[in-house]
Amino acid sequence: MSTSLPPKVAVLGAGSWGTAFAKVVADAATAAESNRRVVLWGRKPDAMAQMASTRINEPYFPRVKLPDNLEFTSDVEQALHGAHIVVLAIPAQALRAQLEVFAPLLEPDAVLVSLAKGLEMGSGLRMSEVIIEVLQGNLVAIDAPLETISGVTDRVTVLSGPNLAKEIIVEQPTTSVVAATTLETAQKVASICAANYFRPYTNTDIIGVEIGGLVKNVIALCVGMCEGKQYGDNSKASVMTRGLAETTRLALALGGKLETMSGLAGMGDLIATCSSPLSRNHTAGRLLAEGIEPDQLHTVMSQTAESIKSAPVVAELARKVGVAMPITEAVVEVLNRTISVEQLAPALLGRALKSESDHIS
């Protein structure tokens, strides 16, 4: 990358979180009096042209004027040219196909930041694993040196935490976590998104941060069902707490760290998503309890609720590594229509009694 160009961040995906996060990065640049460029890319040319002229993302945040230093484009080549940090705000199941298009256009030293909270159907891979696989595949295809190929791992980072986009877009204060293989890379990413209403922490537990973020969506779906059934706070607190227990079991089995699960990407995000009517996963659960069929959810909501597709993949991964995840299994049964929402509580409460500290089941 030429040193004469200003630093540049590209945010790919102009949905709810991509737009809100691009605003965070643009505001962070202003606060730091940096000449860093921030570009938001979306796949729909008309929508991006309208955003460029009005500075408003009408379908998602019709009342929010986006910052003057945020650029908009539907031309991915233009977005990625000179970008030293590339943020991926594309839903989990679409990420691989999109990244295969983006990969040849990336700057060779670009750091990637994954915002998605899901597991890939079919492969069962976490998003950081999908990104590494695609980027390395692209480098192998062009016969890149081995150290360049293995170096990809250190350029892939994850950002997760209690980050409801609808709160962040109106600048309500929050925190988040950036995870990378090295603290140095995590700090580099944290430095471009530290705004006066957004405080990113850093750690090196990519597995824990990703598992916390994606499993809490499944738990939020279950809490949403409680909400829809008008169960009270005892029920919801029980699902959240036991949900964190099974999330922790899975994270540890995969190599994640215990302390991550009581941090922002574990407990923090779980509390935010399970408690908030703004959460799409929580909303999806409530709608199921109100009688909407699982295959109608996406149409009714018109926004991504990752747990609908990730829940069966989480359950499969847990079975593969020998971890019991009863709440996740029960949610999958509701999504498959093997049991009804009414049968969810009896199915969970009727299991054999056990010690609370039993880490196996």
Ligand X SMILES: O=C(CO)COP(=O)(O)O
List of residues contacting ligand NAI (CB under 6 A): 13-18, 42-43, 89-92, 94, 98, 115-118, 163-165, 303-304, 306
Helix (H) or strand (E) holding 70: strand 70-73
Whole-angstrom Cα distance, residue 194 to residue 24? 8
Query: Which residue number, 23 or 282, has a Cβ lying nearer to ligand X?
Result: 282
Tokens 């498959």 label which residue? 336
Query: Which residue number, 36 or 126, has a Cβ lying nearer to ligand X?
Result: 126
253 contacts: CB under 8 Å, gap ≥ 6: 318, 321, 322, 323
Whole-angstrom Cα distance, residue 41 to residue 15? 10
63 carries a ligand binding annotation? no
In the complex, minimum distance from the CB of residue 108 to ligand X, in angstroms, rounded to a whole number: 31
Of ligand NAI, ligand X, none, which one does residue 14 interact with (CB within 5 to 8 Å by kind)? ligand NAI
Angle among Cα 150, 91, 122 to the nearest 5 degrees reads: 65
23 binds ligand X (CB under 6 A): no
In the complex, minimum distance from the CB of residue 4 to ligand X, in angstroms, rounded to a whole number: 38
Whole-angstrom Cα distance, residue 299 to residue 322? 35
Beta-bridge mates of residue 16: none
Residue closest to ligand NAI (Cβ) = 15
17 carries a ligand binding annotation? yes
Whole-angstrom Cα distance, residue 315 to residue 330? 10
Q: How far lies 44's CA from each of 184, 207, 237, 281, in Å?
A: 35, 32, 41, 25
162 binds ligand X (CB under 6 A): yes
In the complex, minimum distance from the CB of residue 143 to ligand X, in angstroms, rounded to a whole number: 39
Of ligand X, ligand NAI, none, which one does residue 115 interact with (CB within 5 to 8 Å by kind)? ligand NAI
Q: Which 276-335 residues touch ligand X, going by CB under 6 A?
A: 279-282
319 carries a ligand binding annotation? no
240-273: b or e for each residue (b if 16 or more CB lie within 10 Å)?
A: bebbbbbbbbbbbbbebbeebbebbbbbbbbebb
Q: Which two tokens stand for residue 191?
A: 């430095």
280 carries a ligand binding annotation? yes
Of ligand NAI, ligand X, none, which one does residue 118 interact with (CB within 5 to 8 Å by kind)? ligand NAI
Is residue 354 annotated as a catalytic residue, yes or no?
no
109 carries a ligand binding annotation? no
161 carries a ligand binding annotation? yes
Of ligand NAI, ligand X, none, which one does residue 272 interact with (CB within 5 to 8 Å by kind)? ligand X
19 binds ligand X (CB under 6 A): no
CA 247 to chain centre: 15
65 carries a ligand binding annotation? no
272 binds ligand X (CB under 6 A): yes
3-state secondary structure of 81: coil
270 binds ligand X (CB under 6 A): no
275 binds ligand X (CB under 6 A): no
Of ligand X, ligand NAI, none, which one does residue 71 interact with (CB within 5 to 8 Å by kind)? none
CB 70 within 8 A of CB 40: yes
Q: How much is the CA Rg of the chain, to the nearest whole Å? A: 20
Binding mask 116-155 for ligand X (x = CB under 6 A): -x--------------------------------------
Query: Which residue number, 71 or 210, has a Cβ lying nearer to ligand X?
Result: 210
Whole-angstrom Cα distance, residue 263 to residue 276? 18
In the complex, minimum distance from the CB of residue 350 to ligand NAI, in angstroms, rounded to a whole number: 32
User: Residues 188, 216, 236, 309: which is the catalytic one?
Assistant: 216
163 binds ligand X (CB under 6 A): yes
Q: Which two tokens stand for residue 158?
A: 């994850």
The 156-160 sheet, strands edge to edge: 70-73, 37-41, 8-12, 85-88, 111-114, 156-160, 174-179, 198-203
Of ligand X, ligand NAI, none, which one does residue 226 interact with (CB within 5 to 8 Å by kind)? none
Q: Which residues are annotated as a binding site for NADPH?
A: 16-17, 43-44, 60, 117, 165, 280, 306
Residues that are catalytic: 216
Chain residues in the site for ligand X (CB under 6 A): 117, 162-164, 217, 220, 269, 272-273, 279-282
